[in-house]
Structure 1
């Protein structure tokens, strides 16, 4: 009994020392944007307004340092600003092309910001993206990004991945891109790839999906994909699951093997999957398409001296005398890629091929 009383007393003492943060007496930032203007960092933070009719409200600030924006934001707030629940960082394309060094250092040093926070590049002005986000539920932007990483064409990434790519050797940073359509709706629009700390290359939505296939594990290798064939006919398929393997055959030769299990959704009218010859031809055309598109994308990476796949990291793990600059300047530009695509049509869809 005395032991139980002692434990209960300790619990009371511990709880009494804990810092209380009442929900309606703090401002919990959920989405933060960053832009640059000259030598200044411009930031906007969206927070839930529990005492107002608005779902989200903005608080803005400027500072000469990246982490310094929190101080002027606090001076404009009637309650303490809390950063522990931030789900999304939005950076302008101008910010990304200038340098993300301050962003990487800020994330590394600020332990209150989760490693799961997603970072996206905005093609539009930051103010228009944030204004549109305010019209939606509190976690709309982070949920949009998450959904496209799980089911769409956006490869998985977050602050943890970005910091590993930025500070690690043999790989380059890539971040998702958001844009707005003619009606102002926010949508995912490919991926931005960095050379060192500057944005160098913007990938299309299709290339973003191919990057995802080469980066992710077999369990998450799913999603819809549409392309035009040799005669401009439209193919719409769904990847159910797959496997990929990347290995160095020699010092300057890399073999990429891709095996995809797919479902046929929409096919050219001239094709009939009931006929075995047509089914085999479809299978061959889809395999050739993936082989060609991935090969072209890898050549684009070499031409721009970027390595979002991480071929350098794989090379470093197999070579004791690793030198990053020598690899970037001599080895990587001369690598010959051999892409082998295998497609297994697991499902043809109800009614496809029927006359």
Structure 2
């Protein structure tokens, strides 16, 4: 028994010297922003958003501190910030990394290296582009936010709003796409609007620089093709005016890559949609459901074809067509990559849309007649 007590005491003595600090002696870094510095001597403006721990266990603390420092490297900026705070910086709760617009326009390789090497920054941290700057996004304080940066965490974590406009990208996923051949990484764009923000555009990265920005509508269909959206609204027009709005409850998308006899590759996209008419600007007839399904089919087919051709024109491949080619073709990897780079500009796209309209959403009066 005495031996066991001595072993416990010895273990406690070792814990006292291991560098562990109590929670009330730490600042938790919940989000990090990286901007290009206006100072010619420094390269970056690094912003850390620090959550201040609360002594109250029942209520969350909204208190936070913003620390910004200019330096040639991220490591140097963090060390300078440490000299200006009285508590230890804890990066284990860092959930989002934001790069300013002027940062993604240049090579991201060196900037990302620091984040990949830090063992205390989780691989499941989200990454994004801040518009116009990362600092402006971190400074935004949406009403109702319970803890610092919690609004962003909820938006990207799919635990709050369900929208096809938000493109969530983890740090590990961005790293994987960066290293993988045959697919280009991408990042969501967070735009500040007074005290709030909007997330409805996507930045496509090629050669570790921003090569293309997808608009709101393009981002929506991009997430459809990635199978990252189920709740989807499709506006159908008639003679240039709104006709009806089709709301989906289920979406499935897949593609095949084949070569024709002319050796020209063909990418066939199959998209299956099911849902109801959520809003109509004219009186609809249930007997014309097939006609309405064709109208939805034509609208979706046009939007997808436009998006795919735009990606092809800009020579970016965020959907991983080249990755599929590598996986299905035989031969040396270097030869396959070179061959795909030559073939991609000549790829032909075929889009097949299947629409299942459960009902047209007609409201009947008490006598059973459409209103």
- Asked whether 1:237 is paired with 2:246, we answer yes
State the partner residue of 2:58.
none
Structure showing the higher helix proportion among its residues = 1
- Point out where structure 2 has 5 or more consecutive residues left out of the alignment: 56-60
Which residues of 2 match residues 35-184 of structure 1 at below 5 A? Answer: 35-37=35-37, 40-50=43-53, 55-133=63-141, 136-137=145-146, 138=148, 139-147=150-158, 151-153=162-164, 154-181=166-193, 183-184=194-195
Q: 1:351 to 1:77 in 2, by over 3 A?
A: same
Task: Give the conservation status (yes or no) of the 8 Å contact 1:228–1:234.
Answer: yes
Secondary structure at 2:93's aligned position in 1? coil
1:196-251: CA deviations, max 9, x gaps?
110011111221121112113xxx54123242424231543332122222111216
Q: 1:148 to 1:260 in 2, by over 3 A?
A: farther
- Asked whether 1:34 is paired with 2:45, we answer no
- Asked whether 1:267 is paired with 2:283, we answer no
Task: Give the conservation status (yes or no) of the 8 Å contact 2:34–2:134.
Answer: yes
Q: 1:281 to 1:85 in 2, by over 3 A?
A: same
1:255-309: CA deviations, max 9, x gaps?
110111223211231423xx222x1111111111111111110100011110000
For 2:10 and 2:293, the matched residues in 1 are separated by 67
For 2:267 and 2:273, the matched residues in 1 are separated by 20
Task: Give the conservation status (yes or no) of the 8 Å contact 2:142–2:195.
Answer: no
State the partner residue of 1:340.
352
Task: Give the conservation status (yes or no) of the 8 Å contact 1:62–1:72.
Answer: no
Q: 1:189 to 1:242 in 2, by over 3 A?
A: closer
State the partner residue of 1:198.
209
For 2:314 and 2:76, the matched residues in 1 are separated by 34
User: How far off is 1:31 after superposition?
Assistant: 1.1
User: How far off is 1:190 after superposition?
Assistant: 1.1
For 2:13 and 2:253, the matched residues in 1 are separated by 51
Secondary structure at 2:121's aligned position in 1? coil
Q: Which protein has the larger Cα radius of gyration, Structure 1 or Structure 2?
A: 2
For 2:162 and 2:111, the matched residues in 1 are separated by 28
Please list every run of at least 4 consecutive aligned residues from structure 1 whose deviation after the TM superposition is greater than 4 angstroms: 5-12, 51-54, 347-350
1:92-148: CA deviations, max 9, x gaps?
111011121123322321121111111111222333222214874321222223349
- Asked whether 1:281 is paired with 2:280, we answer no
For 2:116 and 2:230, the matched residues in 1 are separated by 32
Task: Give the conservation status (yes or no) of the 8 Å contact 1:312–1:327.
Answer: no
Q: How many residues align?
A: 345
Secondary structure at 2:140's aligned position in 1? helix
With normalisation by structure 1, the TM-score equals 0.87
State the partner residue of 1:13.
11
State the partner residue of 2:321.
311
Task: Give the conservation status (yes or no) of the 8 Å contact 2:141–2:196.
Answer: no
Q: Which shifted more, 244-253 or 332-341? A: 244-253
User: How far off is 1:27 after superposition?
Assistant: 0.8
For 1:23 and 1:350, the matched residues in 2 are separated by 59
Q: 1:327 to 1:56 in 2, by over 3 A?
A: farther
Secondary structure at 1:98's aligned position in 2? coil
User: How far off is 1:69 after superposition?
Assistant: 2.6
Q: Please tell me the root mean square deviation across aligned C-alpha atoms, in Å.
A: 2.9
Q: Which shifted more, 221-230 or 83-92? A: 221-230
